């Protein structure tokens, strides 16, 4: 074929047109492919955090109130094995000395000594459990700051349990399903033998625009939930008005559960 400037420009022009059409066809083709996204009603935050106001919790007359624990454990199909060694817990009570043993002194105000403190996973800013997990089954979700568990990936090595300074993780030594004594929540899975489980800050509820089950269940408003990076959030407002403490801040894990005591 004889080549001259005219035919060269023609072919060049057609090629340029083709390249220009590429993004258009891509955009058209994408429409036909499945898309994934959040639910429109999902609650979003850079770092979810909780403020536990123990004063409000203690003030109420009924000391045996465990609404938050029951709501959480019922919602997430948490089993009740019945022994301390195999106990599975997402949200539970701990004594002041065990919760804040680095900050506790011999002489405390009477209120503190005999009252339980609500404890849960702190969803740390730099979580040690995530650092030690060999399979990345537990990971820090960049979108929400929640320390999540991927039970599909957990191999049950329990490094994370050794890494967590708060004891927030429980291991399923046996099949937990027969030990679920609350009514089964059919919308949430259970776990199997050989995986570690913990509080998830109710990721699945946040995705549906709902606050965590414990926050919703507390009749006394002792649990406040919000975005710690947002200065207008309810947690930040509470922290601005009250003196708060965190569990074992000296470890540098950056816990995101604050206590007003």
Partner 1 sequence: MKIYNAKLIIPGLLIFVVMVTFPIWYNKGSAAPPPEPSLNTPAIQRMAEKQCVLPKDQMRTDHMQLLNEWRTEVVRNGNRLYVAWDGKEYNMSLQNECMRCHSNKSEFCDTCHVYAGLKSGSQPYCWTCHIAPKENK
187, two tokens = 């919308």
**Who's near 207: CB < 8 A, 6+ residues apart?**
38, 39, 42, 43
* Residue 75 Cβ vs partner 1, minimum distance, rounded to whole Å: 13
Q: Which is nearer to partner 1, 189 or 252 (CB)?
A: 189
Q: Which is nearer to partner 1, 172 or 224 (CB)?
A: 172
Q: Which is nearer to partner 1, 201 or 258 (CB)?
A: 201
Binding of residue 151 to partner 1 (CB under 8 A)? yes
Query: How many residues appear in the chain?
Result: 261
182, two tokens = 């609350």
Q: How many Å is the maximal CA-CA distance in the chain?
A: 101
Q: Which is nearer to partner 1, 189 or 221 (CB)?
A: 189
Binding of residue 19 to partner 1 (CB under 8 A)? no
| Contact flags string 37-76 toward partner 1, x per CB under 8 A | xxxx-x----------------------------------
Burial of 109 (0-12, 13-18, 19+ CB in 10 A): exposed
Binding of residue 11 to partner 1 (CB under 8 A)? no
Q: Which of residues 200-239 bind partner 1 (CB under 8 A)?
A: 203, 207
Beta partners for residue 216, in sequence order: none
Conformation bin of residue 158: beta by default, left when phi > 0, alpha when psi is -120 to 50: left
Interacting residues toward partner 1 by CB under 8 A = 32-40, 42, 77, 139, 141, 143-144, 148, 150-152, 175, 184, 186-192, 203, 207
């Amino acid at each position: 074929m004889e080549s001259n400037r005219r035919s060269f420009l023609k072919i060049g022009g057609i090629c340029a047109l083709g390249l220009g059409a590429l993004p258009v066809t891509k955009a058209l083709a994408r429409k036909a492919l499945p898309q994934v996204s959040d639910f429109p009603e999902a609650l979003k935050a850079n770092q979810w955090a909780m403020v536990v106001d123990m004063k409000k919790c203690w003030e109420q007359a009924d000391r045996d109130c465990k609404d938050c624990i029951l709501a959480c454990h019922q919602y997430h199909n948490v089993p009740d094995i019945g022994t301390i060694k195999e106990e599975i817990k997402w949200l539970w009570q701990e004594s002041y000395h065990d919760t804040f043993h680095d900050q506790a002194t011999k002489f405390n105000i009477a209120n503190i000594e005999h009252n339980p403190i609500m404890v849960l996973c702190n969803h740390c800013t730099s979580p040690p459990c995530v650092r030690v997990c060999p399979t990345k089954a537990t990971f820090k979700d960049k979108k929400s700051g929640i320390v999540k568990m991927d039970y599909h990936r957990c191999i049950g090595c329990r490094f994370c349990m050794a890494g967590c300074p708060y004891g927030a993780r429980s291991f399923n030594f046996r099949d937990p399903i027969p030990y679920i004594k609350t009514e089964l929540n059919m919308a949430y899975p259970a776990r199997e033998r050989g995986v570690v489980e913990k509080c998830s800050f109710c990721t699945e509820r946040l995705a549906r625009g709902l606050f965590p089950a414990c926050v919703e269940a507390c009749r006394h408003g002792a649990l406040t939930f919000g975005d710690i990076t947002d200065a207008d959030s309810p947690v930040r407002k509470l922290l601005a008005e009250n003196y708060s403490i965190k569990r074992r801040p000296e470890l540098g894990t950056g816990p995101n559960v604050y206590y007003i005591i």
